[in-house]
Amino acid sequence: MTKEYKMWINGKWVKAESGKTYPVFNPATEEEIAQIPSGGKAEVDKAVEAARKAFPVWSKKSQLERSQICLKIAAALKEHHDELAALDVMEHGTPAKRADFIAADLPEWFEWAAYSARQLMGQTVPNSPDELDYLQREPVGVVAIITPWNYPLLMIVEKLAPALVVGNTCMIKPPSIDALTAFKLAEILDTIGLTPGTVNVITGPGGTVGGALASHRGVDMVAFTGSCEVGKEIMALGSPTLKRCQLELGGKNPVIILDDADIETAAAEMAPAQFRNSGQVCASPGRFFVHEKVYDKFLEKFIEATKKMTVGDPTDWKTMIGPVVSKTHRDTVEGYIKSAVDEGAKVIFGAKRPTAPPFNKGYWIMPTIITGVKQNMKVAREEIFGPVAVFMEPFRSDEEVIQKANDTTFGLAAYVWTTDAARGMRFVNELQAGTVTVGNVHGRDLDLPWGGYKESGIGKEHSQVGLYEYTNLKRVQIDIKMLKK
């Protein structure tokens, strides 16, 4: 049975003023599962007004009080773990085992924010014994959070937790096709006792709701994850007010397999990295550069590792790869595959759309491997955001592959496989990317900053560095001599 949802604005559940709604479909079955209110400028205006009214109340609470409330949110998320995981499976097609992992990860973001914010300190500057000069951090104000559909709730929580804990009030614009977990989050927040307007959830078309938030004079900051094109549009819309922007955008991340690499380990690690979440991850490999001496062996091992990844019903805990998020996105990814073939590349694995049950319904793309890709091809230049591994032509020298890896408008992440430490450090120093990983390491997202170079974004998320993004830095100078005792 289709459920009809409402937006959460100023602590109340409301329909769109227009009365319009739109459907949401289960990507694995194409079944309509919800009707979502189609909000617009009127709802944005109300949410901004509510957030601005709540800001003095929320921001003037002590850091201890805000941290304690965030810990309550974390505890509530734990209580609703099973429901959040089930919604993720249903609305996004996330395999159940991975959805369970993601739901278990959500509370930690609020716990981390609660404890980290209490360690935010100012800084004194010893200019003179007659002066008190110091720096202090304050909340930016009203923050619009605009998130993508690839990790529907995780992307919200990664921004909401740090923004909220340091004293900002927030509007959440979840992805149109994956908003159900955002509504569940609002239900949870509704039980916490926040001042009305501290957090608001508005749904509707990105061009309407997202555009209204980005251009609104009452919004002090936009925190956005999504495509480069939309990120640039948000910057343009916010430019008349010089709005603060934290933008986590796309990637075309190189994977470099050097001739001295541990081939079996590299293939076993990089295949799941490529195909997890059906390739709908900004950090996924975008281009494989393999040294000519080990190209055939790595490709063979990569295919073997890919074959071990089960594609199937997202509700089955054995499933590792589910459907892509929508029919539109499936068509887009298939268009990239076709363009590669048209330009002279070769599909050596996958690509065909499955038709036998349970794949006769839903938006399925089998894991696909393309070889013989040249630098100027579309699949080498643009982010595919699907289960498609792009193998560039083999390279011969370190200088050659560094130049080719950096020959992109993106600079989000890069992966290097070598057993030579000095050689690995050369790549660390010369690759133009916000994150460079050498070998088989898995850093915790909470503790390490994330963000790219070039058109992959502005600012950082995660870690203490990411927490600073949601604060203003104030310089204070006091003439101690003139102060009365």
pLDDT (tens digit per residue) in 441-473: 876 778 899 999 999 999 999 999 999 999 999
For residue 240, with 0-12 CB atoms within 10 Å meaning exposed, 13-18 middle and 19 or more buried, which class applies? exposed
Q: Tell me the CA distances in angstroms from 367 to 2, 142, 332, 349, 363, one per residue in order.
A: 31, 42, 15, 7, 13
State the pLDDT at residue 1: 62
Sheet holding 123-125, edge to edge: 123-125, 131-139, 471-479
Q: How far is CA 4 from the centre of its chain?
A: 27
How far apart are alpha carbons 161 and 120 in whole angstroms? 15
Which of 89, 30, 87, 94 has the alpha carbon at shortest distance from 278? Answer: 94
CA 160 to each of CA 182, 332, 404, 438: distance values in angstroms, whole numbers, following the listed order: 11, 30, 37, 31
CATH 3.40.50.11820 fits 3-249+457-474, yes or no: no
Q: Is 129 buried (19+), middle (13-18) or exposed (0-12) by CB count in 10 A? A: exposed
Q: CA-to-CA distance for 203 and 4, rounded, in angstroms?
A: 13
For residue 355, what pLDDT is reported?
86
On whether the CB atoms of residues 158 and 150 are closer than 8 A, the answer is no
Q: Cα separation of 103 and 90, whole Å?
A: 14
The values of phi and psi at residue 390, to 5°, are -105, 115
Domain ranges of the chain: 3-249+457-474, 253-444
Q: Is residue 282 among the annotated active site residues?
A: yes
Is 158 an active-site residue?
no
Catalytic residue from among 43, 158, 248, 383? 248
CB neighbour list of residue 226: distance below 8 Å, 6 or more residues apart:
146, 147, 148, 249
**252 vs 373: CA distance, rounded Å:** 14
Instruction: Give the active site residue among 170, 228, 245, 282.
Output: 282
Q: What's the CA angle centered on 6, arms 4 and 8, to 5 degrees?
A: 160
> At residue 96, what are phi and psi to the nearest 5 degrees?
-55, -40
Query: Is there a contact between 311 and 366 (Cβ–Cβ < 8 Å)?
Result: yes
**Second CATH level (architecture) for the domain 253-444:** 3-Layer(aba) Sandwich (3.40)
Which tokens hold the place of 450? 């994330």
- Count of alpha carbons within 13 angstroms of residue 418, beta-carbon side: 20
How far does Cα 376 stand from its chain's mean position?
27
Residues (pLDDT < 70) of the chain are 1, 443, 485
Say if residues 298 and 269 touch (Cβ distance below 8 Å).
Answer: no
What is the structure's pLDDT at 124? 87
The Cα-based distances of 25 to 92, 178, 281, 314, 361 in angstroms read: 9, 9, 21, 14, 12
